Structure 1
Amino acid sequence: MIEDTMTLLSLLGRIMRYFLLRPETLFLLCISLALWSYFFHTDEVKTIVKSSRDAVKMVKGKVAEIMQNDRLGGLDVLEAEFSKTWEFKSHNVAVYSIQGRRDHMEDRFEVLTDLANKTHPSIFGIFDGHGGEQNTLWQTILEAKTAAEYVKSRLPEALKQHLQDYEKDKENSVLSYQTILEQQILSIDREMLEKLTVSYDEAGTTCLIALLSDKDLTVANVGDSRGVLCDKDGNAIPLSHDHKPYQLKERKRIKRAGGFISFNGSWRVQGILAMSRSLGDYPLKNLNVVIPDPDILTFDLDKLQPEFMILASDGLWDAFSNEEAVRFIKERLDEPHFGAKSIVLQSFYRGCPDNITVMVVKFRNSSKTEEQ
């Protein structure tokens, strides 16, 4: 009897090992237990199911929020993550500026207008600094965080004063908007270098300045900030040309000065600076491989009958061509910032790693603009 019992137990053990302990059997057992738990709604399963449903609702809500945002495809969601933003709106000009993916904000802009008395042309400026945000020398010597801040705080006001003097005796003056622009830009560069030579400071900035009078638009550029205008036919008219080391004219000048350009992510003067002209940037100025000389162009407004112009730091132009930017803004002139905010956010969305600052100026002959 005992022997029969042992035989039976041995047989059951073999059956259990053969069937119940096989991986397939254990997997099916787990599935069965899970289904049983789900259909009988144990407290644990209820909690899991509720959490899953909440998560699905949250994701659906975010997707709906993104899809409901207008042309930008949900970029308003990203805007909350920007570390710094600036905006400006007055009459016919709007500016939107973001720090973006950079650790520091070195873009600056300025708008000086006199719509009432017309004592001087309207002054619009974009300044894109580099290498100065963390340099305490800018704060102690120049009382500014960056080279761009220094130029922004001094150059437009100096221009305003000289332009007012010029307008008082315009008929007898030997000066012009072009000569005033050139003199003041070179003067501010000398001022910066004199103060920073002793410190061997390498910070600098671009400089894009536009003077808007009743009949003419005069634009001075140093560096790779850029301006573009939309004429009466919707064409993109360049207001400036970037100063890049790889350009034939700039490359020859750098070589004549004894310098060189090399590729380090982009073509750079002495392997350092990604532009061939700037304000500041000692010691490259001392080597004469980087210069502050502006290119200055004048445009006849009666001939062009422009609708608007765009002035922007190179963060925009890393993501948009002149033609793309003009088309983009033209479709959005009715927006509160004349499309400036939209194109900045779109540039960010396209992956621009730089600070981005865009200024849009609408002209009086535009059917959509307010009286300048």
Structure 2
Amino acid sequence: MSPLARTVRYLLLRPQTLLLLGGSLALWSVLEVKTILRSSRDAVSKMKGRVEEMMHSEGMLHEGFSKTWQHKSSGAAVYSIQGKRDHMEDRFDILTDALNQSHTNIYGIFDGHGGETAAEYAKSHLSVMLRQQLQRYETQKESSTLTRQSILKQQILDMDKEILEKLSASYDEAGTTCLVALLSEKELTVANVGDSRAVLCDKDGNAVPLSHDHKPYHLKERKRIKKAGGFISFSGSWRVQGVLAMSRSLGDYPLKKLNVLIPDPDVLTFDLDKLQPQFMILASDGLWDAFSNEEAVHFIKERLDEPHFGAKSIVLQAFSRGCPDNITVMVVKLKKRGSKAAGE
């Protein structure tokens, strides 16, 4: 062994040298542990911040659902949220007769504006009035000159008169859309006032429009408004007299006084044997601001097995896409032809 190697060995084996190395190793271990602990604390702090952020975001989401309504029966489901609006002005109604399947089922969507009064009144009274008139018609239809279509149209016009009389007395300027579907054994009749909308999924999965929106920028509506001495202007959307983003409604007595707004419904009838429908969607414009007819039909078709037949899922999806409005969606499942109509 060389003199240098003997010297190194001597120094390394001295007790003092071993003690110094042991102390250095212990000090290094302590410093390393502190570093690990500091990193762990930082990671925990970051995770805590993310959790708090998620909880805050979830809280913001729950604020959008401060008022949520839902309905579920064997053939129809509804999901309705307030969204980011200050007030919940959407209403819906379903009137069926489980004891008498021959009676017409009635489905309604009412999207209020300027307050909930008009929508609430229409929801509470229109279906009941319709049921009474339709039952009377069924017992006398062989000799009657009336039809389901004429009854539906007249009842909506009468409802507008009632709302105007009631609300104008208290200077309540509220108004509402009115979307009503009558489902019988062979026919589907849909009436629409405003911009709520209905669409059907036929046997091939195609979207079939059941109604058409009444918007101020549509040529027919624009001409009528101008002829009545009114105007439309753009403020985020086209508005009648710079105020209302639809050209027909129930209520809205100040605009009705000017004759620029009318309550006349479009009424369409569909042959169920011909269409062989799978389901229909009735919804306020909160949905249609985020979904096209075709996209909505495809979305619901993939989710008919869900508890709300996809109504809840599509409402949440519309909300997540940034729609700030009240959103109400009704899905009515329609059984295959040859069996009794669904929607009970």
* Same-fold status (TM-score > 0.5): yes
Q: Distance in 1 between matches of 2:186 and 2:341?
A: 17
**Is 2:278 aligned against 1:285?**
no
Q: 1:362 aligns with which of 330, 333, 337?
A: 333
Mapped contact 1:119–1:167 kept (Cα < 8 A):
no
Matched with 1:41 is 34
How far did residue 225 of structure 1 move? 0.1
Q: Distance in 2 between matches of 1:201 and 1:39?
A: 73
Aligned residues: 314
Q: Distance in 2 between matches of 1:37 and 1:148?
A: 71
Mapped contact 1:308–1:366 kept (Cα < 8 A):
no
Mapped contact 2:185–2:341 kept (Cα < 8 A):
no
Code of the aligned partner of 2:94:
V
How far did residue 262 of structure 1 move? 0.3
Matched with 2:203 is 232
Code of the aligned partner of 1:83:
S
Q: Distance in 1 between matches of 2:155 and 2:175?
A: 16
Q: Distance in 2 between matches of 1:370 and 1:297?
A: 19
Matched with 2:22 is none
Q: Distance in 2 between matches of 1:75 and 1:40?
A: 37
Structure 1 residue ranges without an equivalent (≥5): 1-34, 66-73, 134-145
- DSSP-derived class of the 1:128 partner: strand
How far did residue 289 of structure 1 move? 0.3
Q: Deviations over 1:252-300 (max 9, x none)?
A: 0000000000001100000000000000001100111000000000000
Matched with 1:104 is 87
1:189-200 to 2 correspondences below 5 Å: 189-200=160-171
- DSSP-derived class of the 2:215 partner: coil
Q: Deviations over 1:17-36 (max 9, x none)?
A: xxxxxxxxxxxxxxxxxx99
Matched with 1:17 is none
Code of the aligned partner of 2:165:
E
Code of the aligned partner of 2:193:
V
How far did residue 153 of structure 1 move? 0.3
Q: 1:347 aligns with which of 285, 301, 318?
A: 318
- TM-score (normalizing by structure 1): 0.78
Structure 2 residue ranges without an equivalent (≥5): 1-27
Mapped contact 2:167–2:174 kept (Cα < 8 A):
no
Q: Distance in 1 between matches of 2:235 and 2:152?
A: 33
Matched with 1:127 is 110
Q: Distance in 2 between matches of 1:38 and 1:148?
A: 70
Code of the aligned partner of 1:258:
G
Q: Distance in 2 between matches of 1:275 and 1:185?
A: 17
- TM-score (normalizing by structure 2): 0.84
Q: Distance in 2 between matches of 1:371 and 1:342?
A: 21
Q: Deviations over 1:167-204 (max 9, x none)?
A: 12221221111111111101011111122334443210
The CA RMSD over aligned residues, in Å, is 3.0
Matched with 1:259 is 230
- DSSP-derived class of the 1:211 partner: strand
